[in-house]
Amino acid sequence: MMQLHRSDWRETAKRSVLTLAVGAMVLLCASGARAQRTVTFPPAEAPPPPPAKAPPKTASGGEETDIIPDPGPSMRKTKHQTPPPPTNLTVIYKVKYGEVLQYKHPNGVVQTFEQWKSYPPDASNLVTLTNEKLADGNNYQYAEKELSAPGFDPVDIPILYMTGDYDFTLKPAEVENLRKFITGGGTIIFNAARGRDEFSRGVVREMKRVFPRKSFMRLPADHPIFNARFRVSNVMMMLGGVQRSLEPEIYSIDIGTRAACILVPGGLGAALSNSEYHPDGRHIVGESAKRLGVNLVAYMLGNTEYGKFLAQEFPVYTGRTKAGDVVRFASVKYAGSWDLNPAIQNTVLANLKDNTNVDVDFTPHAVALDDKAAGHFPILFMTGHYDFQFTDAEAAGLARYLNRGGLLVVSSGAGLKPFDKAFNRELRRVYPNAELARIPPSHPLFSGGWNSVSKVTFTAPLLRDNPTLDAPEFFGYFIDGRLAILYTPYDLMSGVNRESNAYAKGLVDTDAMRVVNNIITYALTH
User: In this model, does residue 74 exceed pLDDT 60?
Assistant: no
When pLDDT is averaged across residues 262-272 and rounded to a whole number, the result is 97
What is the DSSP code string of 437-476?
Answer: EEEPTTSHHHHSSS---SS--B-HHHHHH-TT--S--EEE
User: In this model, does residue 68 exceed pLDDT 50?
Assistant: no
Give the β-pairing of 110-114 and 100-104.
Answer: antiparallel
Residue 267 CA to residue 259 CA, distance in Å, equals: 19
Q: What is the mean pLDDT of the chain?
A: 87
- Per DSSP (E only), the strands in 16-75 are 36-38
In this predicted model, what pLDDT tens digit does every residue of 121-158 receive, in sequence order?
999 999 999 999 999 999 999 999 999 999 899 999 99
CB under 8 Å to 36, separation ≥6 — which residues?
Answer: 99, 100, 101, 102, 112
From first CA to last CA, the distance across the chain in angstroms is 107
Bridge partners (DSSP) of residue 475 are: 438, 487
In this predicted model, what pLDDT tens digit does every residue of 208-255 receive, in sequence order?
999 999 999 999 999 999 999 999 999 999 998 999 999 999 999 999
189: burial class by Cβ within 10 Å (0-12, 13-18, 19+)? buried
Residue 81 CA to residue 66 CA, distance in Å, equals: 30
Give residue 54's pLDDT.
Answer: 46
Give residue 355's pLDDT.
Answer: 82
The answer to whether 457 touches 507, Cβ cutoff 8 Å, is yes
In this predicted model, what pLDDT tens digit does every residue of 320-361 receive, in sequence order?
666 776 888 999 999 999 999 999 998 998 888 888 878 888
Residue 272 CA to residue 289 CA, distance in Å, equals: 7
241: burial class by Cβ within 10 Å (0-12, 13-18, 19+)? exposed
Give residue 124's pLDDT.
Answer: 96
Half-sphere exposure of 485 (CA within 13 A, CB side): 28
Higher pLDDT, 234 or 4: 234
In this predicted model, what pLDDT tens digit does every residue of 91-126 receive, in sequence order?
999 999 999 999 999 999 999 999 999 999 999 999
This prediction has a pTM of: 0.85
The answer to whether 284 touches 246, Cβ cutoff 8 Å, is no
The answer to whether 326 touches 363, Cβ cutoff 8 Å, is no
Provide the 3-class DSSP secondary structure of residue 250: coil
CB under 8 Å to 220, separation ≥6 — which residues?
Answer: 386, 416, 417, 418
Split at pLDDT 50, 70, 90, the class of 48 is low
Q: Which structural domains are found in the chain, ordered by start?
A: 84-310 (3.40.50.12140), 329-525 (3.40.50.12140)
Element (DSSP H or E) covering residue 265: none
CB under 8 Å to 389, separation ≥6 — which residues?
Answer: 335, 422, 426
Residue 521 CA to residue 357 CA, distance in Å, equals: 11
Closest CA to 120 of 59, 62, 172, 161: 161
